A and B are shown apart, each in its own frame.
Chain A
Amino acid sequence: MKNNSLVEEYIGASIEIIESSDKKYENIHGKVVDETKNTFKIENHRERIVPKKGCLFNIAINDSWKTIKGEDIMYRPEDRIKKLG
């Protein structure tokens, strides 16, 4: 496996958006509560649905922060292992 962090489970992990093509999504941080092919649902005080496309994420996987490009993980959560693993 080249990049292990792309196939991990993101639900329950802390996440922050460090860069986005849409300024309104920048600096959102919180916990991932749901994932679809194209979006993350992030909860901090309120729930927000953030597209994966065009965003650069910092995700805490196994207690270390990994920087992940949204375009690299645009698959259904259950397909990610097969497509990227």
Chain B
Amino acid sequence: MEKLSKLSDYKLTLIYALRDLSRNYKKISSIILTLFISLFILSSIFTIEESLNNELNNNSRALLGGDIEIDYNRNIGNLKLINQVKEFATVSQMVEFSTMISTTDKIENKSIFSRIKTVDENYPLFGKVGYEPSGVFEELQTTENTILVNENIFKNLNLKLNDKIKVQDKLFTVIGIVKSVPDIGGAFVFGDFALAGKQTLELLKLNNLGSFLNYEYKVRFNEGDNPKTSSKRIEQLFKDEKKVRLKYHEKSDGPLKRIIDNFSQFLSLVSISAMLIAGIGIANTLLSFINQNNMSIAVKKSLGFYSRDIKTVYYLQLLILLFLISTAAYSFSFFLVPIVDVYLSAGLGLNIEGSFSILNYFKVFSVGLLVLIIFSIPTINAIDQVKASNLFRNVFQNLQFYYSKQSIILSLFLLSILISLFTIGSARPIYSLGYFGAFFICLLVFYLLSNLIIKLFKGLKEHPNISIKVSVKNITQTKSITPITIMSLGLGVTLLLTLAFVGSNFKREIVKSIPKLAPDYFFIGIQSDERQIFEDLIFDMDKEANLEIVPMVSTGIVKINGIDPNTYIDSSNGSSWATRNDRRSSWADKVLKDNPIVEGKWWDLSRPDKLQISLDSKVAKDLNIKIGDIFTLNIYGREIEGEIVNFRLVDYRDFTINFAMLLNPSFAKNIPHEYLATAKFKSLENFNEIALLDKMPSLSIIKITDYLEKVTDLLNKVFIAVTVISAITIVIGLIVISSAIIVQGKIKEFQNLIFKILGFSKSEVVLSSIIEFFIIFTSIILIALFFAVIGSQFIIENIFQITWKFDLVIFLQVTIGIGLATLILIMITNYKYLSPKVYPLIRNQ
């Protein structure tokens, strides 16, 4: 007979795989569903992250406000140099400052702490300002004392167009509402802000530290000019300027990108958890599928098929399936982009569009492939157990997972690649590794738990109650779904409980604990000659007010041991902020109660005329500072060398006055300074904000509860989003359990038939299922609770550094919710096996 070439072998394998898949896909529907859901989540994360990054990259100039920003911080800067830049580029000057905005002619006047951006006629150099009504933005430059406020200020101060508001002691007319600005900074994302014309600055007294004044010059290169050459020219011009910082548009998305990276890293870990849980189900369903094909495999072997050829056909089916599912999942992820876009454009003014990335598609496919192979190796290897000789005996034994040394090594190798994919290049690789470590420890413990339960119940003496007897038998039987239920549900419950505990602790700390401990108000910008007036005013309002006033001076670290820190400290360093721009520092005679010394000694009083510095221990650790190191500080234009004498443990989260640097008072008291104060009132009603501002118009007042409300609101939204996404692990777990029950369906049906013949009632069968569920679920909850307590306590106490407390209500809500969902699913899936038809079963049809 005529033979074909070797190439036809591959073609044939593909034909078999396609044929088998097209005829069997219904039997592996749970594999398709779980794989699709988990790959869809992963694809969505990748697609949205890619779209966001593209948006940030495409709009980096708009986000910065120019090709380059020349940032002089508190100083107006070298205008001669700025004018030289204007010769070859367009420059937009702007000044940002923080101050109070108050109403003046209302029955009950109110004030609000805001960031004001004064802009010139060139603003914005890139992007657009959103405002209403039309024409008011242009009016800012032409009409003096006009202002645009954001929607929140407009609403909270109960304003109407053309109302008068007071900024410090000057009156401004609100001519419109500013909805968005292209150059979004931190304060402009979360805080309240307003836009004013360039002449505003001259009207106000803005030289105090409390106004957080910032002079910025945004530069747009002329069209046709080489950006690199223009950048170099600017660098050259400003190379000898010490107080200037050049910011480039390529790095303008730093903080936002870090948030996106961290968030997407977390969500990727959740989605890989869902995939690994799905993997448990895939292995189980695949084994059942191969068991159903036991005879066909034996026939093929009897015809001379090699075991490896049969396995290749199965692997190829999985590969085809994965290709289709990953393509569908990746394609469907683009439908989510417009939904996310609605929220992002409303919240951040960002507009994202789905953009296809072959790399992302490849990543989704690779992750799916790795999970599929890892979990199908022991299953497909079970094909080796099928013997053609079974055909003579007409007996087909149930196949078991088959682990050889080789397959274990291969699985571990693939698993390490999978972990590497999610670890290397992630925002925080150590956290990812820690997460995987915790995940696999949990998996192992849940597996051991399932074995322990089976062993314990096997050893139990027979119970007289028939329902209990049956449920115990179901748990301990060879093909019991106990291990798969415990592992798949246990991991999901652990993850959800941990997140719920983290969320509830965080919320409790912000909503309850912090307001109790934290002051009611922060007062910034008290001039040295106003201290007594301020103190008197506060105590006039509330004699029992708890007032803390500390001096404040602006200091900038110019050198550390003679070297400019900005030349070697990277922006990714957790404490790089301490070396950038001027920071506020203070001084104190005695060690502060909530700032204990962790290394070194308090001030050396024998050297009163030498500058001594006390540094935040975390900053010291991050910047590798040792006791005895020398800082060169810029204090009001003078460079002064100071020695680091001690490190303090500073906790900025307690909302009291904290400084990274404290100076020795004997040296610092002669430096011109302002004061910063906090106050906690006996009763908040005693405090009259407007009266205080009338007397001290340059004062800035920050109401802590306002900020806490905003933070709580934001955190609530984040935790809801995170919990909803994490619930996907429960959904996958439930699908896995449901498919495991379906896999067991024939056994269940036969069992129920025997019960029916023996006169066992339907309610007793249902009761046995409920008892079985309660035994398994209680065990899961106990272990999940154990892990969730350890996990959440670690996160809360070590990462967020706040107090952890057990929340019984959250625990009950989560466990009862998941428990009910699981019980209902088990009942629904088992329902069809409850009333088996006797005739077809006893005729073996």
A and B interact physically: no
B residues near A, CB below 8 A?
none
